Amino acid sequence: MKSSAYANLQRKIITVTLLVSFAPLIILGVTMYYQVALMCKDKTEEHIKYRARAQAQAIDLFLKERTAILSAMADTHSFNDMIDEKNLSRVFEVMNLRAGAFVDLGVIDSAGQHLAYVGPYDLSGLNYYQESWFGEVMSKGVYISDVYMGFRQLPHFIIAVRCWEGQRSWILRATIDPNIFGAIVLSAQIGKTGDAYLVNKAGIYQTHPRFSGKILTEFNLDTKMFRGGTTVIEARGSLGNRLLYAGSWSNNNKWLLVISQEPAEYMRRLFALRNTEIAIIIFGIFAIIMTTIFTTRLAVNHLRDSDAKMNELNAQLIQSDKLAALGKMATGVAHEINNPLNIIIQKTGWMEDLLAEEEFQNSENYGEYKKSIEKIEYHVERARKVVHNMLGYARKMEPHLEDVDLNRTINRTIDMLENYARDNNIDIQTDLSPDIPIIASDEAQLQQVFMNLISNSIDAIGKDGLIQVKSYRIKENITVSITDDGPGIPRDQQKKVFDPFFTTKQTGKGTGLGLWICYSIIEKLGGSLSFRSKVGEGTTFTISIPLIVPEKK
């Protein structure tokens, strides 16, 4: 596998793991947040709903009290008493003493004529017959008006009660202090952003809201959105911000008490929870990422290592299989070639025999014949040598086991090649470990291997260079390495170096059998032959043979 494939694999594993671990974490976080948010909202809604209902009841109570005291005064005094302004002002004083919030008090007869008045405005003498509330009070008996400007050009509302005295009816009418009433309503507001106000059915403010709008201006929502009893809705306020509205009807469903509240204010704790949650999730994600990357890297590296080992093993296996097959084929071919060569040799011999006879010696082409025959013999000899080399290792099918001092064998081989190396100005250095024991092996074959490898190194260097021969022991193996500082073996040729007949030397100079024979010999001795090469740096051939030769096949 290429390294990009490993990177790809690593990326895939990491992506999948992260997705799988992030998804539940994030889903859990979001779900929890929304559940808590829902709970918070419910709680806030419940709270303002309760406040709205309580305040609406308080307003009802306020109105009922004022109406009751007004009715009581009307019932306990006669019309004639009341139109006396002295008496009326006494009644007014008592009313303010017991209940308060009355601004003025007036008596109106059934024709709408304002007969008596106590209060800060000069309203006596006015006729209310045309006013809508007059009709209402005359027909219903009790009337509480919406807030209006009236003659005095100030927002206010009135409570009027009708009283029967025999056949005659009259009206006692009082104005409620808008400030006191407004204060009662405003006391329902909550927190910094909360607001409380009254709105009538038509959507006109009956009290001063704290933030949005003014008294007697229009409410920004449709009052029809608030159904009977107490309703909570969420809508945009007049300033464009989202608000929670709780509305509760009072005053016989004529007035709507509204409490508004920014949800954010109550949700501060929720936001704190959200921040904590986000922090935990971020920390979790970070931890997961680190762990995933770390473990995946570890696993992929492990995989890469074992793959590399596997590949190396496979390569070795393929190499030895290939060489075994090639060897079988080569020896088969060689054997088949031997027979024709044998016949050719006999035939040329026969021709030579015949040429030696006297009559042929006189032939003018005698010399040419003789030369041709010699050439044929020369080339048969060449072919014979190739076959011989190829089968050379096979001549001794089984290694001849004897006591071998490996270091001595190496030194002897180097002695033989010393002159050849010196001629090419190549230095052969040895670093032979003294703790290599005498082993049971085939000295002649080992020598052939060393000879081949070292002379290959010399040929590879050409001129001027260094060859290092080392021997050392690793556990139950003896290793001999031969390193040259030659040009190295190009990558594309590395797979072929052990193949029979593979050579880079000029035609006729090398058969391409040397390394193949070395490989076969070492394999037969139970060892292994490998090499490492880098173009421009040199090549190292490493022979590894077992310290105790394994049993013969």
Partner 1 sequence: MEFFNVLVVDDEEDFVETLVNRLNKRKVPATGVLSGEEAIELMKEREFDVVILDVKMPGGMDGIETLREIKKVQPLAEVLLLTGHASVETSIEGMKLGAFDYVLKPIKLEDLFPKLAEAFERKDAHDSKIRGAKIKKLLRYW
- Contact residues toward partner 1 (CB under 8 A) are 331-332, 334-335, 338-339, 341-347, 349-350, 353, 380, 384, 387-388, 391, 394-395, 397
Give the DSSP letter of residue 407: H
* Three-state DSSP string of 316-383: HHHHHHHHHHHHHHHHHHHHHHHHHHHHHHHHHHHHHHHHCCHHHHCCCCHHHHHHHHHHHHHHHHHH
Closest-CA residue to 517 (of 444, 420, 460): 444
Nearer to partner 1, 331 or 455 (CB): 331
Nearer to partner 1, 18 or 345 (CB): 345
- In three-state secondary structure terms, 530 is strand
Closest-CA residue to 436 (of 520, 274, 299, 545): 545
Where b means 16+ CB within 10 Å and e means fewer, 167-178 reads eeebbbbbbbeb
Task: Find out whether 369 and 377 touch, Cβ atoms under 8 Å.
Answer: no
Residue 259's DSSP bridge partners are: 196, 246
Nearer to partner 1, 202 or 397 (CB): 397
Least separation in angstroms between residue 343's CB and partner 1 is 5
Least separation in angstroms between residue 327's CB and partner 1 is 11
Nearer to partner 1, 281 or 344 (CB): 344
Least separation in angstroms between residue 552's CB and partner 1 is 13
- As a whole number of angstroms, the distance between CA 344 and CA 338 comes to 10
Where b means 16+ CB within 10 Å and e means fewer, 191-201 reads eebbbbbbbbe
- As a whole number of angstroms, the distance between CA 456 and CA 514 comes to 9
Task: Find out whether 512 and 524 touch, Cβ atoms under 8 Å.
Answer: no
Closest-CA residue to 456 (of 396, 522, 509): 509
- As a whole number of angstroms, the distance between CA 513 and CA 314 comes to 24
Least separation in angstroms between residue 464's CB and partner 1 is 40
* R_g over Cα of the chain: 60
Least separation in angstroms between residue 403's CB and partner 1 is 23
- As a whole number of angstroms, the distance between CA 412 and CA 447 comes to 8
Name every residue whose Cβ is closer than 8 Å to that of residue 522 and which is 6 or more positions away in sequence: 449, 528, 529, 543, 545
Nearer to partner 1, 229 or 332 (CB): 332
Least separation in angstroms between residue 399's CB and partner 1 is 14
Least separation in angstroms between residue 396's CB and partner 1 is 8
Distances from the Cα of 135 to the Cα of 110, 141, 430, angstroms: 10, 10, 134
- As a whole number of angstroms, the distance between CA 300 and CA 7 comes to 8
Least separation in angstroms between residue 438's CB and partner 1 is 28
- As a whole number of angstroms, the distance between CA 479 and CA 375 comes to 46
Least separation in angstroms between residue 373's CB and partner 1 is 13
What is the H or E stretch that residue 136 is in? helix 132-140
Least separation in angstroms between residue 424's CB and partner 1 is 34
Least separation in angstroms between residue 326's CB and partner 1 is 15
Nearer to partner 1, 160 or 334 (CB): 334
Least separation in angstroms between residue 416's CB and partner 1 is 25
Nearer to partner 1, 73 or 334 (CB): 334
Residue with tokens 């024979």: 517
Residue 431's DSSP bridge partners are: 470
Least separation in angstroms between residue 353's CB and partner 1 is 5
- As a whole number of angstroms, the distance between CA 77 and CA 354 comes to 179
- As a whole number of angstroms, the distance between CA 257 and CA 52 comes to 7
Nearer to partner 1, 288 or 351 (CB): 351
